[in-house]
Amino acid sequence: MLGVALLYPVGYMVYASFLDWNPSQRISQADWVGWRNYLFLLNDPSFRESLFVTLKFAAVVVTCEMILGVGLALLLDRPLRGMTLLRTLFILPMMIAPIVVGLMWRYLYHPTVGPLNRILTGLGFDPVPWLSDSSWALVSIILADIWQWTPFIFILSLAALQSLPKSAMEAARIDGASGWQQIWYIKLPLMLPVLIVTGLLRLIDAFKVLEVVLVLTNGGPGLSTEIMSLRIARTASEFRELGKAAAMSNLLLIVLMALTLAMFVYGILTEKRAARLRAAAEAEAASP
């Protein structure tokens, strides 16, 4: 069942990427073109620009969301009155449909009646062309994504913090470790396996984001916000080139697999290093 449900569609997409196929044909009627679709994409400046925009977008949003989410979790990892209500408020952005998020931020970014520009002009600043200027459009999408998905990092980081062994924290306090030393040398290393998986999940999602970009900018101005998922959808639906769209999907899959493998290798090396440090500490404690 797993083979049919997972591997068959991937194999179908790989096979389609070697065809000159359009939606008016059955796949059996499409002409075999070999590597031509891949060679075309690798020499296509627009495809390279979309890939660069996707990589930049994913790197910025995942880095910012990890810093903000982990920072909020460390800040709120303490007994606070109304913590249940606070957690509910934090996860609300995750519960909103991406189309609604895009529409909401589109109104916020409106050049004349949007609240953001009204606040800026009220403070004496010039209004910002959030969605009409190529230098601001990608920033606008990044802000919307950070607002929606930082709570995801926060919830998982807070759960990881609350599952840490209390004995390690108490021993650190007894030894005179400051709050920052406890965070840097104990909490973050112990949280690292969870943080790696969390970052990997967000990285994969960042490469697949579509609806918010489609509503906010539709890839413009120019190609400044045309991420790979949007370009794949356009190639398949507007340009009616299913073979090239499949080839783009496969190239994006290769990039994601490489990043995933790199993060897993880093996680394994980090866990081995932590195991060696724990073993050395235990040996030192057992020695007379």
28 falls within a domain: no
What pLDDT does residue 269 have? 82
**Domain range for 126:** 46-283
Per residue in 178-200, pLDDT tens? 878 888 888 888 888 888 889 98
Residue that the structure tokens 């356009």 belong to: 234
pLDDT (tens digit, 9 = 90+) per residue, 40-80? 999 999 899 999 999 999 999 999 999 999 999 998 887 77
Residue 29 lies in a domain: no
Look over the chain and give the mean of its residue pLDDT values, rounded to a whole number. Answer: 87
Q: Tell which residue, 133, 158, 6, has the closest CA to residue 69.
A: 158
- Say how many Å lie between the first and final Cα of the chain, rounded: 58
Q: 34 lies in a domain?
A: no
pLDDT digit string, tens, across residues 128-155? 999 999 889 999 999 999 999 999 999 9
- Residue 12 inside a domain? The answer is no
In-domain check, residue 162: yes
pLDDT of 73-116, one tens digit each? 998 887 778 777 887 888 889 889 999 999 999 999 998 889 99
Helix or strand (DSSP H, E) at 31: strand 31-32
Report how far residue 188's alpha carbon sits from residue 161's, in angstroms, rounded to the nearest whole number: 9
Residue 136 lies in a domain: yes
**214-238 burial, b for 16+ CB within 10 Å, e for fewer?**
bbbbebebebbbbbbbbbbebbbee
Residues 6+ apart with CB under 8 A from 264: 196, 200
What is the pTM (predicted TM-score) of this model?
0.88
- Asked if the structure places residue 143 within a domain, the reply is yes
Residue 272 binned pLDDT confidence (cut-offs 50, 70, 90)? confident
